[in-house]
């Protein structure tokens, strides 16, 4: 099976900007035990940044994040970062993951997450699987399903469990072809 995250970790070594925003958001709760979820932790860059900032981090790896049910989700979390956990699979898969994670977030818990945008060039170059899902035909993620959402689809996906505070469409991980939605939201 092709990898779900790039094998070349060089362009993604520093913490993701959303992880840094989550740290700043949760920092006032320190000192004390502040449990944070890094969902689909990939290279571990965000896990390390959260731990270095003093948080109790539970990192769920990419393969576990893609499984149903998701192992390792126990107890409640004060916040969550996910820079790849909601990019892969079909739109229905992403919705199931959002629902599973939401059940483990405390009320008012902030989340900092990315989602696929239809502005991503891989939509046009990929194989269409369904209305919102494409798989790249080449590169490291060849054959890996990616869900892409318009802004209105994304807001509808999050509405049952989250109040969205900001949505920004940006390039991701220094790759011109990768365009993601950067989302900051709060658990209802």
Helix spans in the chain (H)? 17-26, 45-52, 62-66, 91-102, 121-125, 151-158
- Band (45; pLDDT cuts 50, 70, 90): very high
Distance CA 114, CA 64 (A): 18
For the segment 174-184, what is each residue's pLDDT rounded down to a tens digit? Answer: 666 789 999 99
Position 59 in a domain: yes
4: pLDDT strictly greater than 70: no
> Which of 42-56, 86-100, 113-127 is predicted with the least confidence, judged by mean pLDDT?
113-127
For the segment 122-154, what is each residue's pLDDT rounded down to a tens digit? Answer: 787 789 999 899 998 888 889 999 999 999 999
Range of the structural domain that residue 121 is part of: 16-22+33-65+75-187
Position 7 in a domain: no
Position 102 in a domain: yes
Pairing of the two strands 35-39 and 133-135: unpaired
Ranges 65-69, 91-95, 136-140, most confident: 91-95
Q: What is the Cβ-side half-sphere exposure of residue 146, based on CA atoms within 13 angstroms?
A: 32
Percent of the chain with pLDDT strictly greater than 70: 91
Position 10 in a domain: no
Choose between 111 and 32: higher pLDDT: 111
Give the CATH number of the domain where residue 110 resides: 3.40.50.150
Please tell me the predicted confidence (pLDDT) of residue 176.
Answer: 65
Please tell me the predicted confidence (pLDDT) of residue 73.
Answer: 84
Distance CA 167, CA 113 (A): 10
Please tell me the predicted confidence (pLDDT) of residue 9.
Answer: 46
Position 2 in a domain: no
Please tell me the predicted confidence (pLDDT) of residue 36.
Answer: 98
Pairing of the two strands 146-147 and 162-172: unpaired
Choose between 1 and 84: higher pLDDT: 84
Ramachandran angles phi, psi of 132, nearest 5°: -115, 5
Position 11 in a domain: no
Position 27 in a domain: no
**CA distance from start to end of the chain:** 36
88: pLDDT strictly greater than 80: yes
Ramachandran angles phi, psi of 153, nearest 5°: -65, -40
Position 8 in a domain: no
- Band (3; pLDDT cuts 50, 70, 90): very low
Pairing of the two strands 127-130 and 79-82: unpaired
Domain count across the chain: 1
Please tell me the predicted confidence (pLDDT) of residue 70.
Answer: 85
Instruction: Give one DSSP letter per residue of 17-69, joined into a string.
Output: HHHHHHHHHHGGG-SS--EEEEET-TTSHHHHHHHHTT-EEEEE-HHHHHSSS
């Amino acid at each position: 099976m092709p990898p779900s995250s790039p094998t070349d970790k060089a362009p993604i070594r520093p913490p993701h900007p959303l992880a840094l925003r989550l740290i700043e958001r949760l920092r006032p709760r320190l000192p004390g035990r502040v449990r944070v979820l890094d969902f689909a932790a990939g290279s571990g860059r965000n896990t390390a940044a959260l731990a270095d900032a003093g948080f109790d981090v539970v990192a769920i790896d990419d393969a576990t994040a893609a499984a149903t049910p998701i192992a390792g989700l126990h107890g409640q979390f004060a916040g969550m970062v996910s820079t790849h956990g909601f990019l892969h699979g079909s739109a229905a898969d992403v919705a199931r993951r959002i629902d599973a994670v939401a059940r483990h977030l405390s009320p008012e818990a902030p989340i900092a997450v990315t989602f696929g945008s239809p502005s991503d060039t891989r939509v046009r170059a990929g194989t269409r699987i369904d209305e919102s899902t494409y798989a790249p035909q080449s590169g490291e993620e060849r054959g890996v399903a990616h869900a892409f959402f318009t802004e209105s689809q994304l807001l509808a996906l999050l509405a049952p469990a989250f109040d969205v505070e900001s949505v920004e469409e940006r390039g991701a991980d220094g790759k011109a072809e990768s365009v993601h939605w950067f989302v900051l939201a709060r658990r209802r």
